[in-house]
Structure 1
Amino acid sequence: MSTKSQVLTLLMKQAPNFISGEEMAQQLSLSRTAIWKAINELKKEGHIISSSRNKGYCYGKSDVLSAEGIRLALKSATPSLSITVLNSSESTMKDAKLAAINGEPDNTLIVADIQEAPIGRFGRPFFSKAGSGIYMSMLLRPNQNFEEMAQYTVIMAVAVTRAMNKLIKVSTEIKWVNDIYINGKKVCGILSEAMSDVESGQISNVIIGMGINFSLKQEEFPKELRKKATSLFPKEEPTITRNELIAEIWNQFYAILNQLPEQHFLEEYRQKSFVLGKTVSFTQTGVEYEGIAVSINDHGELVVQLHDKTEKILSSGEISLSSINPTT
């Protein structure tokens, strides 16, 4: 751990109390000069650190993304994460894929303050702004069969809604497959991809990525998105930090994994779905269909009853809902 990381972790642990430079130097076995240099570097990065000649230093709550801030908010039941925080990324999904190729370990998390070329499902771009969103991807190495892949996307959606509901007390809904909505507007998109081992026929790597509109003001969205998208704090100042939300999302995600094979999360997913009971239009293998979304099965697939009473099973990788309308 670098000197700056050690100093930041200690300041965060001590907050909101002051800690003297001498005590910090003793605890970390560093010189007072090293402490002073690290604190100045942290201030330049945007961390709010107040100082008093008599009391020392105090860390103020600031929304600067940091591996240290995320780790401090992780629960003991959550596995140790290998966390990389980037100022900017073309795409954290691409970063995670490269990490997989380079042999990075299970539970590798990559977080960026902004994505220069963010991509959602089916290669669709989405809006990104520095300091106002959460853009992250997790590398998992599950060694499971392809039939179990769908569970990861469903679990992730439930984990995100649980974290948002717990920390911000918002009412969230899920648009199948994994878009999170608040008050009829999209606040989060989730994307999952698998990499397989040809010889074993198993999934060697799973990458789960997401983009969350955190504190983007409603008027800052492009005009074409203002009626479709929102953020967790579209008007008011955030009551939590991005680090806290990131950590809670993964706390909830691993809590569900630790409870498997129990599948209570599936019922929670169904209850939060605003697609069920609605008329949906979609395209599958080049053919357009319309029907009523009647259920979500145990694989996370959407079951749609067409007008001729036949059913179509829709998996996340092959279709996209083009419209959702109330049934008449």
Structure 2
Amino acid sequence: MSTKQKILTILRQDGNIVSGEKLAATLDISRTAIWKAVRELEKQGYHIEHFPNGYHYLVSDVLEKELITNEHLPTSAIFIKEETESTMDDAKVAALKQQTSPALFIAEKQTGGHGRFGRAFFSPNGQIYMSLLLEPNQTFEELPQYTILAAVALSLAIDHYTGKQTQIKWVNDIHLEGKKVCGILSEAISNFEAGRIQHVILGCGINFSLDPQSFPTNLQTKAGPIFPQANPSATRNQLIQLIWQYFFELLEDLPNNKYLEIYRSKSMVLGRRVQFSQQGVTYHGKATKITDTGELVVQTKQGDKTLSSGEISLEAIE
């Protein structure tokens, strides 16, 4: 552990003002070395108050492996970058290099992020951009509904830290108070010779804490942050940790379909009229059911239409 990390640990654990003299004696280094290390921590984004009698740690939102880890994701399986083109691409490269999974890839800044159908999306700095690499080694028919599991885990974690109730727009968007705060993208890498899915990658882009007015004008009525205030009630580390804690708990609970019950209860489309396009034809109807395999059943004048996430995008909800 570096000197900076040792000082950070002491300040966090103490919770009060810790004198430079005490830090120096504990770590057997000079007061000057303490001061330099504190300055380096501040440059990294940590908030530390300076007093005549010492230093006091304030809650900071710097991404840290040690605060995200859980029994399924050791620190050695968490990779954090200052900037990347896409965490999905980072996960794909890691899969090709036979990275042990599960593994989590996170970035402070993402320059080439995209959603379903290759759509680019607004990616301001300091939000949450992450992708989870899994190695199910199963046939397509055997695969769990990973996108739905991730949506439920995200929704529950956001509920926990906001005290509000999120909704899920089929199949992969999380909405809070009528605005999209998170999108999920899942991709599979197949082994055609073996007929099995070798890897699955779950990507998440989360609007964590932002001024709602900072969104592009055309998005302000559609998208928003989880925390519009300057001082959110949770850190990104806490939210990320809880998301994947919930995800792996739901995964371990299979084949119990409790996650589907939660998903359906949080649906913002069931029972409502929707519009969608399929093979160049626009349909209108009422969303009546989400199947056990995550498909949406819409009752239209032309009969029931069963929609999969890969072939349509909901265009309107009435």
Aligned AA for 1:247?
Q
**1:116-265 pair list within 5 angstroms:** 116-131=111-126, 133-149=127-143, 151-235=145-229, 237-265=231-259
Instruction: Check whether the contact 1:15–1:60 (CA below 8 A) recurs between aligned residues.
Output: no
Q: CA deviation at 1:170?
A: 1.7
Instruction: Check whether the contact 1:96–1:207 (CA below 8 A) recurs between aligned residues.
Output: yes
Normalised TM-score (structure 2): 0.90
Q: Distance in 2 between matches of 1:260 and 1:30?
A: 51
| 1:318 equivalent in alignment to 2:311 | yes
Instruction: Check whether the contact 2:137–2:197 (CA below 8 A) recurs between aligned residues.
Output: yes
Q: Distance in 2 between matches of 1:210 and 1:86?
A: 15
SS in 2 for 1:233: coil
The match for 1:14 is 13
Q: Distance in 2 between matches of 1:12 and 1:204?
A: 44
Q: Distance in 2 between matches of 1:252 and 1:141?
A: 19
Instruction: Check whether the contact 2:210–2:230 (CA below 8 A) recurs between aligned residues.
Output: no
SS in 2 for 1:317: coil
The match for 1:86 is 81
**1:286-325 pair list within 5 angstroms:** 286-309=280-303, 311-325=304-318
Instruction: Check whether the contact 1:12–1:69 (CA below 8 A) recurs between aligned residues.
Output: no
SS in 1 for 2:145: helix
Instruction: Check whether the contact 1:108–1:140 (CA below 8 A) recurs between aligned residues.
Output: yes
Q: CA deviation at 1:204?
A: 0.9
Aligned AA for 1:280?
V
**Could you list the runs of 5+ residues in structure 2 that have no partner in the other structure?**
none
Instruction: Please give the root-mean-square deviation of Cα atoms over the aligned residues, in Å.
Output: 2.4
Aligned AA for 1:41?
E
**Could you list the runs of 5+ residues in structure 1 that have no partner in the other structure?**
none
Q: CA deviation at 1:148?
A: 4.2
Q: CA deviation at 1:139?
A: 0.8
Identity across matched positions, percent: 50
Deviations 1:142-183 (A, max 9, x none): 112212446110000000011011111122000001100112
Instruction: Check whether the contact 2:290–2:296 (CA below 8 A) recurs between aligned residues.
Output: yes
SS in 1 for 2:88: helix
Q: Distance in 2 between matches of 1:78 and 1:15?
A: 29
Q: CA deviation at 1:53?
A: 6.7
Normalised TM-score (structure 1): 0.87
